[in-house]
Structure 1
Amino acid sequence: MLELRNVSKSFGQKQVLQEISLHVANGEFVSLIGPSGSGKSTLFSLIGGLLAPDAGDIYLNGEEITNKRGFISYMPQQASLFPWRTVIKNVLLGQELQGKKDHKRAEAMLERAGLGDVIHAYPHELSGGMKQRVAFIRALLSPQSLMLLDEPFSALDEFTRTDMQKWLLSIWEDYEQSILFITHSIDEALFLSDKIIILSVNPAGIKEVIKVPFNRPRDGDLLLSEEFLQWKKKIIDVIQV
């Protein structure tokens, strides 16, 4: 699926990323965590082709995509829906740009997300959680096999955020696209991921890769289990070293 080989990036005299090598397998959910300023968003820009690395190569499904665009779908921190497009037209945007639209599948996914009654509504008529669900479905419907999610729930309140995490898992487990997910929340990374990549800072390198041991499907009770808290402590210890 996705492979980064010794990717480095500097801005002027400041080196942000140093020889980053990582792998995301087909259907795998991988989270990136690390201190603010550790280069997580820069890494996304490199994978998406918005920036070119100073050194290293990026591959997707065996094809080199270094400094090439159009190979990934992306969901930012804010929903970034077009205000003049209805919900159904927003979620079909990625497919539309590729020259094809699957209305039936889009409507079925919106119905599954509890948005069946608002498919013809506009973004200003939706709550924050509803907007994020629309943005996620738009990314999921895009034809690319890899999704990059950049702290998509950070602006939500705690209760809505927990609901969105559970909802995301329930939808993703049906479609099993590969996801690379940025978060500052250890709880969120542990609950959602198959694998967690911990970044250092100044410049960013990979401190450790942790295989998450929890079986799927997962539910909210996991967050309160002793095993979950033990793994959370292990990750905190790695970050603080």
Structure 2
Amino acid sequence: MEHLEIRDIQKSFGSNRVLDGVNFSTEKGEFVSLLGPSGSGKSTLFRMIGGISSPSSGDVLLEGNSIKNHPGSVSYTPQTPSLMPWRSILDNVLLGQEISGKKDEEMAAQMLERAGLSGFEQAYPHELSGGMKQRVSFIRSILSPQPLILLDEPFSALDEFTRTDMQKWLLSMWSEHQRSILFVTHNIEEAIFLSDRVIVLSQRPAKVIKEFEIPFERPRKEEILLSEEFLYMKKDIYQEMRSSHASANY
């Protein structure tokens, strides 16, 4: 049984169709990226998986059970960290556990220390940099009880070097905790570097046009970004997206 199954999801806003029969599935413990051009409906799809909005038709299944219109079934991290400004950093990362009634402050403190945030437990979000806030947001997701984490372009606002550091940190945390992650990006290099599999979406109205298995061994090292094999895969995915774009505008 697939961990997550997206079954023929369609979404329209009036006469504007955004998603046109999206189908894919993920396995437990897998890191999967959804890759598509800006405005293709990736974030719209995420809001439906997260139960925040409803599809026009189709279904979202988690371990065989429909979670359509059921917020709280997955851990959803939007593009901005969405930390509560009146809560300390420690209280922010404990929020998901607090809601479920199972707080583990010791584990939270250990994870903050591993993320380089030791000493910031009682600080507030406005005192942190953008990269630090993203780490806090991801730790909150890891500590939440849901089996699937949705990450919606969490590094898009960061500079290139901070972004690479955050990607490596994310992979180290994921490999340790082996949570299922569905990651949205429009950055081909980021999708390849992070993922077990990359699902490519077309221009709006979006549908799945191809899936790519990523063959690189884990743990991933920054050096692969400049390898010939990596650049070939980046070219293949780029050409797939480019041909889709050309067809949509023909």
Q: Would you say same fold, with TM above 0.5?
A: yes
**Structure 2 counterpart of 1:23, which letter?**
S
Q: How many residues align?
A: 241
- Deviations along 1:116-164, one digit per CA (max 9) or x if unpaired, are 2211111122121111110110111110010010000011111111100
Q: Give the counterpart letter for 2:158 in structure 1.
A: L
| Distance in 2 of aligned mates of 1:191 and 1:202 | 25
Q: Identity, % of aligned pairs?
A: 60
Flag structure 2 segments of 5+ consecutive residues without an equivalent: 244-250
Query: Which 4+ residue blocks in structure 1 deviate beyond 3 angstroms?
Result: none
Give secondary structure in 2 for the equivalent of 1:149: strand
2:133 is matched with which residue? 131
The 5 A counterparts of 1:54-93 are 54-93=56-95
The answer for the alignment partner of 1:37 in structure 2 is 39
Local SS of the residue matching 1:94: helix
Q: Does 1:211 align with 2:210?
A: no
Instruction: Give the TM-score normalised by structure 2.
Output: 0.94
Distance 1:18 1:124 in 2: 40
Partner SS, residue 137 of structure 1: helix
Secondary structure class of the residue paired with 2:211:
strand
CA drift at 1:104: 1.3
1:161 corresponds to which residue? Answer: 163
Shift, 1:39, TM fit = 0.7
2:114 is aligned with 1:108: no
| Structure 2 residue corresponding to 1:231, chosen from 233, 242, 250 | 233
| TM-score (normalised: structure 1) | 0.98
Which structure 1 residue ranges, 5 or more long, are not aligned? none
Return the alpha-carbon distance in structure 2 between the equivalents of residues 230 and 208 of structure 1.
Answer: 16
d(CA) in 1 for partners of 2:72 and 2:83? Answer: 19
Distance 2:178 2:27 in 1: 11
Counterparts of 2:57 and 2:126 in 1: how far apart (Å)? 43
Q: Cα distance, 1:202 vs. partner?
A: 2.8
Tell me which residue corresponds to 2:8.
6
Q: Distance in 2 between matches of 1:57 and 1:125?
A: 41
Cα-Cα RMSD? 0.9
Structure 1 counterpart of 2:194, which letter?
L
What secondary structure, in the 3-state scheme, does the structure 1 residue paired with 2:61 have?
A: strand
> What is the DSSP-based 3-state SS (H/G/I as helix, E as strand, rest coil) of the residue aligned with 1:117?
coil
Deviates more, 1:145-154 or 1:126-135: 126-135
How far is the alpha carbon of 1:100 from its aligned partner? 2.0
Which digits, 9 at most, give the CA deviation of each residue in 1:181-228, with x for residues without a partner? 011111100000001010012311111011111111111001111110
Equivalent residue for 2:247? none
Match in the other structure for 2:182: 180
What's the offset of the Cα at 1:31? 0.5
